[in-house]
Amino acid sequence: MSRNASALILMWLGVHVVLGQVSPALADSDRQAERQALVRSLSGVAPDLMIDDPNVRAALLRVPRHRFVPDGLQDQAYQDKPVPIGHGQTISQPTVVALMTQLADVDDTHKVLEVGTGSGYQAAILAQLTDQVYTIEIIEPLAREAKARLANLGYNRIRTRQGDGYYGWPEQAPFDRILVTAAAAHIPPPLLEQLKPDGRMVIPVGPRWGAQILMLVTKNQAGDTTTESLLPVRFVPLTSETPR
């Protein structure tokens, strides 16, 4: 089957939106049944884009998603849909988080950059797979809140930063894996430069609030990159301090 997903899949995806660090979330038994039901319900978005990586599914079981959404919206935390987190941003729906994590193919040797911390949920998922997670958020209140939330939940090895993710995190580059959780008009050249040979980047690309495509970018040992268009998505736009 072609990877060009149907309009039905696009509507389902909505808007954006083994183990390294084992957090104290493992001891958080409240709403565990809801997490289990959610993970059981995850399948995929097409026959060739199934969510079947056991490590990714285990990571979703370990992270209490309700701790990453606003208090008044916690009843929506385990529904497969995006949830607003303020400042015009969302926490991506679990299907999208799981799919992007699986496409990134993270293992415990990898150094990973996330662009767009949001509430911190995707970073917490990645921290189940590797101890080397770096996450950057341009919106200062979200960056501050996510840093405190991750610390309170025991994710002490996640490195957080407030800044413009378009330019990546050059002081910590290069990265084996890069995940971008907001839609860019194009693939940012600084992120390509900071991707290691044999690295992978997962990024939605397209116009603000328009038709976007989730893309997998790979770099070979010679430094050449290839891109693969996977399926239509709709994410909030990547914010940059420099208009482009």
Fold of 7-233: Rossmann fold (3.40.50)
Q: Which residue carries 């001891």 as its tokens?
A: 27
* 43 given a catalytic annotation: no
CA–CA separation, 200 vs 112, rounded Å? 10
**Number of Cα atoms under 13 Å in the Cβ half of residue 169:** 26
On whether the CB atoms of residues 144 and 170 are closer than 8 A, the answer is no
Decide if pLDDT at 162 tops 50.
Answer: yes
CA–CA separation, 139 vs 177, rounded Å? 23
- Tell me, yes or no, if the pTM score tops 0.85: yes
Render pLDDT for 164-213 as a digit per residue (tens, 0 to 9).
Answer: 999 999 999 999 999 999 999 999 999 999 999 999 999 999 988 778 99
Decide if pLDDT at 2 tops 80.
Answer: no
CA–CA separation, 150 vs 168, rounded Å? 20
Other C-beta atoms closer than 10 Å to the C-beta of 209 total 12
Identify the band that residue 21 occupies on the pLDDT scale cut at 50, 70 and 90. Answer: very low
Other C-beta atoms closer than 10 Å to the C-beta of 189 total 11
On whether the CB atoms of residues 5 and 232 are closer than 8 A, the answer is yes
Q: Which of 6, 92, 229, 240 is flagged as catalytic?
A: 92
Three-state secondary-structure class, residue 166: helix
Decide if pLDDT at 22 tops 60.
Answer: no
Decide if pLDDT at 46 tops 80.
Answer: no
Domain map of the chain by residue range?
7-233
DSSP 223: S
Decide if pLDDT at 27 tops 60.
Answer: no
CA–CA separation, 112 vs 215, rounded Å? 17
Find which of 48-57, 162-171, 232-241 is predicted with most confidence, using mean pLDDT.
162-171
Render pLDDT for 73-113 as a digit per residue (tens, 0 to 9).
Answer: 999 999 999 999 999 999 999 999 999 999 999 999 999 99
DSSP element (H, E) containing 176: strand 175-180
